[in-house]
């Protein structure tokens, strides 16, 4: 009895203390959030800390670039503020932009968000980087530069990496199905036309080893076809996917591939998709440059040397990012200089060597260790540096808009409705249109 009484009063005390502490934290939290590094000012000599907000793997830490920059500029310390998932990063960035606080000195923007960031709704929040010292427009791939440029000619983001596409395929499964396995011959099977890729799929499927499929999912095919076309979801500044020839042919090809049983119907990036790599159940996957890392990670050492890589029927871009400088920052000049340095050829080449991201700065292609880079896991020793840097140069600029990323997701989902939920093609199309209508106001 006595024991429980003391413990009870002790707990009350603890609770009261916690309550007061929380209140105190809340009150001080509100008042000090705007403080930060205000005292440092933007004068050249004083010590300042620059924060870089990014997501996933940008490779700067891996390539030792932040430390190198601090060595060049002893008064500058760089802190990376990184989030694993881009979707979470973007949600937080939007709320910070709306609130006008909590922003980092440098913020990364994914290509799917760049059209929204350059639109009138948001472009006032970012600095024009075209005039930053050391920035040379012609160094960057023209279409990449264009994507980050607003209607009135301000460039709010400098390109980091790009995601040119190829096709990764399993040499052993191709051989088993009586298809050639040499990259040049494989590329010749479908050169110039995505419908040939689907036809090769049907040939493969006719002689495929039991339990294997030609492709992992028809959604990858859909995205590849749309993103390698001149007209995608937008035309003349408005959303016009219903009349877009590429959306129609991509949808039809995806339906054809599914109906012919050439797709395993996996949900890309989901756990079953990851395990399917190690179980060797599909022979090809659409392969943006960053996909190489996934292939190696999920296929595992047991499948080393079994994958190879060939040119895609037509080259599109999937992924890649930009670095931007928010206008509310306290060290904008220093931040702009850092962005210009990080996206310069030498640094982009170092990132490529560290983590494999393909530079958007064309000058980097002429540096040693890039074009001559060979991937030991794929091929083995496939000339991926040559393949991807060439592909990046052939990508054409296509009109995009604020909802392009949402539409890509909605269409991927529409194809899943056919592949996993066994809806008819017309029902799935109708559901996709409804989904798009409900997600745009």
Partner 1 sequence: MAVSTGPQRRQTWRTRLYRWDSKGAPYAFVAPFFVVFAAFGLFPLLYTGWLSLHQVSLYNVSRSRWVGLQNYTDLLSGPPSRFFWNALRNTVTLGALSTVPQLLLALGLAHLLNYRLRGRSFLRIALLAPYATSVAAATLVFALIFSPEGGMANWLLGLVGVGPVHWEAGHWTSQFAIALIVTWRWTGYNALIYLAAMQAVPGDLYEAAAIDGANRWRQFWHVTVPALRPTILFTVVISTIGATQLFGEPFLFGGQSGHQGGAANQYETLGVLMYDQGFRDSMLGRASAIAWTMFALLLLLGLVNALIARRLRRAQ
**Chain contacts with partner 1 (rule: CB under 8 A):** 16, 19-20, 22-23, 26, 87, 91, 93-95, 97-99, 116, 121-122, 267-272, 275-276, 279, 406, 413, 416-417, 420-423, 431, 434-435, 437-441
For the CB of residue 275, give the shortest distance to partner 1 in the complex, in Å: 6
For the CB of residue 91, give the shortest distance to partner 1 in the complex, in Å: 5
Nearer Cβ to partner 1, position 1 or 30? 30
Write out the two tokens for 207.
């002689």
For the CB of residue 191, give the shortest distance to partner 1 in the complex, in Å: 32
Rounded to an integer, what distance in angstroms lies between the CA atom of residue 78 and that of residue 61?
Answer: 10
Nearer Cβ to partner 1, position 287 or 417? 417
Rounded to an integer, what distance in angstroms lies between the CA atom of residue 323 and that of residue 345?
Answer: 15
Rounded to an integer, what distance in angstroms lies between the CA atom of residue 400 and that of residue 114?
Answer: 9
E runs forming strands in 111-229: 158-170, 213-215
Nearer Cβ to partner 1, position 96 or 350? 96
Nearer Cβ to partner 1, position 97 or 337? 97
- Classified as helix, coil or strand, 404 is helix
Q: Label residue 354 exposed, middle or buried (CB < 10 Å: 0-12, 13-18, 19+).
A: middle
Q: How far from 309 is each of 222, 254, 389, CA to CA, in Å? A: 19, 21, 14
Nearer Cβ to partner 1, position 14 or 206? 14
Measured CA angle at 136 (ends 131, 141), to 5 deg: 120
**197 half-sphere exposure, CB direction, 13 A CA radius:** 30
Single out the residue of 429, 415, 428, 423 nearest to residue 264, CA to CA.
415
- Classified as helix, coil or strand, 213 is strand
Nearer Cβ to partner 1, position 223 or 229? 223
Where do the H-state alpha helices sit in 73-137?
A: 86-99, 111-118
Rounded to an integer, what distance in angstroms lies between the CA atom of residue 344 and that of residue 351?
Answer: 11
For the CB of residue 179, give the shortest distance to partner 1 in the complex, in Å: 25
Nearer Cβ to partner 1, position 42 or 94? 94
Write out the two tokens for 169.
């395929």
For the CB of residue 332, give the shortest distance to partner 1 in the complex, in Å: 20
For the CB of residue 412, give the shortest distance to partner 1 in the complex, in Å: 9
For the CB of residue 440, give the shortest distance to partner 1 in the complex, in Å: 8
Nearer Cβ to partner 1, position 100 or 369? 100
For the CB of residue 434, give the shortest distance to partner 1 in the complex, in Å: 6
For the CB of residue 377, give the shortest distance to partner 1 in the complex, in Å: 23
Write out the two tokens for 8.
């009870």
Residue 139: DSSP 8-state: G
Nearer Cβ to partner 1, position 193 or 437? 437
- Classified as helix, coil or strand, 15 is helix
């Amino acid at each position: 009895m006595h024991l429980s009484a003391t413990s009870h009063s002790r707990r009350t005390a603890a609770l009261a203390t916690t309550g007061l502490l929380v209140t105190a934290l809340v009150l001080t939290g509100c008042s000090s959030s705007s403080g930060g590094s205000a005292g440092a000012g933007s004068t050249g000599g004083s010590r300042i800390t620059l924060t870089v907000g990014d997501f996933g793997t940008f490779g700067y830490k891996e390539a030792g670039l932040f430390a190198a920059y601090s060595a060049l500029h002893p008064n500058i310390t760089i802190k990376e503020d990184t989030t694993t998932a881009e979707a979470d990063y973007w949600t937080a960035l939007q709320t910070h932009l709306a609130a006008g606080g909590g922003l980092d000195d440098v913020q990364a923007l994914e290509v799917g968000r760049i059209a929204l960031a350059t639109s009138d709704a948001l472009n006032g929040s970012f600095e024009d980087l075209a005039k930053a010292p050391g920035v040379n427009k012609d160094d960057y791939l023209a279409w990449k530069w264009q994507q980050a440029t607003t209607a009135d000619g301000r460039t709010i983001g400098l390109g980091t990496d790009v995601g040119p596409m190829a096709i990764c395929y399993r040499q052993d499964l191709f051989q088993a199905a009586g298809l050639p396995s040499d990259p040049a011959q494989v590329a010749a099977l479908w050169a110039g036309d995505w419908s040939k890729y689907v036809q090769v799929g049907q040939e493969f499927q006719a002689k495929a080893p039991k339990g294997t499929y030609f492709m992992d999912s028809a959604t990858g095919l859909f995205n590849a076809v749309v993103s390698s076309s001149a007209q995608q979801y937008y035309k003349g500044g408005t959303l016009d996917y219903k009349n877009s020839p590429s959306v129609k042919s991509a949808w039809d090809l995806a339906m054809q591939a599914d109906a012919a049983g050439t797709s395993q119907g996996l949900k890309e990036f989901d756990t079953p998709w990851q395990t399917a790599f190690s179980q060797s159940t599909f022979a090809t996957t659409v392969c943006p440059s960053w996909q190489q890392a996934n292939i190696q990670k999920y296929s595992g050492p047991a499948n080393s040397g079994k994958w190879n890589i060939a040119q895609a029927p037509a080259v599109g871009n999937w992924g890649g990012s930009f670095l931007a400088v928010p206008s509310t920052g306290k060290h904008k000049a220093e931040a702009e200089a850092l962005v210009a340095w990080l996206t310069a050829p030498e640094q982009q080449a170092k990132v490529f060597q560290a983590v494999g991201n393909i530079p958007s700065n064309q000058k980097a292609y002429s540096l040693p260790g890039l074009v001559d880079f060979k991937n030991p896991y794929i091929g083995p020793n496939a000339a991926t540096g040559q393949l991807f840097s060439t592909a990046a140069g052939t990508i054409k600029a296509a009109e995009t808009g604020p909802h392009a990323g949402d539409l890509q997701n909605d269409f991927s989902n529409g194809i899943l409705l056919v592949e996993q939920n066994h809806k008819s093609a017309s029902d799935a199309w109708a559901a996709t249109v409804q989904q798009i209508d409900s997600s745009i106001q």
